[in-house]
């Protein structure tokens, strides 16, 4: 195929770029193949319970809502477990940075699937943090009074929180688990953080486009001058 040529590039650069382009095309095919395998998963286990969460209602007061009530017109729901447990003084900075991005995308996401964010802290505490961050588009739920986090591997036996995204589907009136970002629980490559949420976290993908890359020990700050 004919490749692009940019001003003043060398033959060495173009040769290396063409090798990279072939690899990028292979990666695009692999990503679609993985997505195809994911879409073809059979129904997982029936939900362990119709979990009762807390959210802030239209009257600005806490209210109960069941998992089954979160579906609306769509048959799937994505539930991201936000690392903000009751014993944590501050939420996870990496979760925060990811949710900063997801807050902007949420109205678009909801055109096709349901989306909500779950944390173990009391709902008033979650709302206060969301307001401070300007998260106006995210549906925020508290799992402080149920076993959702433990059942779906968003909480370790010692009570520490884990950033897991679970997908549930409702078919023929029954709710089943469909998918989880289980890659989190596999050993990462040497020198890398676990990369189980890369595809929904634009920050990592932007860093990967630059020669500086992600950095071995970079973490987001929660405020910048």
Which pLDDT tens digit goes with each residue over 58-83? 888 999 999 999 998 899 999 999 99
Supply the DSSP string of the chain, one letter for each residue. -PPP--TT--HHHHHHHHHHHHHHHHHHHHHHHHHHHHHTPPP-PBPS---EEEEE-TTSSEEEEEGGGG-TT-SEEEEEE-S--TT-SS--HHHHHHHHHHHHHHHHHTTTSEEEEEESS-HHHHHHHHHHHT--S--EEE-TTSSHHHHTTSB-TTS-B---EEEEEEETTEEEEEEE-GGGGSPPPTT----SSGGG-HHHHHHHTSTT-S-SS----S---
* Mean of pLDDT values over 108-123: 97
Q: What pTM did the predictor assign?
A: 0.92
- Please write the tens of the pLDDT for every residue from 169-196: 999 889 999 999 999 998 888 877 777 8
What number does CATH give the domain 52-182?
3.40.30.10
Domain boundaries, the chain: 1-40, 52-182
């Amino acid at each position: 195929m004919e490749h692009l040529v940019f001003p003043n590039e060398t033959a060495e650069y173009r040769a290396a770029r063409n090798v990279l382009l072939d690899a990028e095309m292979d990666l695009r095919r692999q990503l679609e193949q993985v997505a195809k395998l994911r879409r073809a998963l059979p129904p997982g286990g029936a939900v362990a319970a119709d979990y009762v969460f807390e959210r802030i209602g239209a009257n600005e007061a806490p209210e109960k809502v069941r998992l089954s009530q979160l579906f609306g017109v769509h048959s799937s729901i994505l539930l991201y477990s936000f690392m903000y447990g009751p014993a944590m003084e501050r939420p996870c900075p990496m979760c925060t940075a990811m949710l900063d991005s997801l807050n902007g995308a949420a109205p678009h996401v909801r055109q096709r699937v349901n989306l909500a964010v779950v944390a173990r802290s009391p709902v008033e505490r979650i709302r206060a943090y969301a307001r401070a961050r300007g998260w106006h588009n995210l549906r925020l739920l508290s799992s402080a009074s149920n076993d959702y986090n433990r059942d779906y591997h968003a909480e370790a036996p010692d009570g520490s929180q884990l950033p897991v995204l679970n997908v549930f589907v409702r078919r023929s009136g029954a709710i089943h688990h469909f998918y989880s970002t289980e890659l989190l629980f596999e050993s990462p490559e040497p020198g890398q953080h676990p990369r189980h949420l890369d595809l929904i976290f634009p920050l990592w993908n932007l860093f990967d486009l630059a020669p500086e890359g992600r950095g071995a020990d970079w973490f987001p700050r929660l405020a910048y001058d």
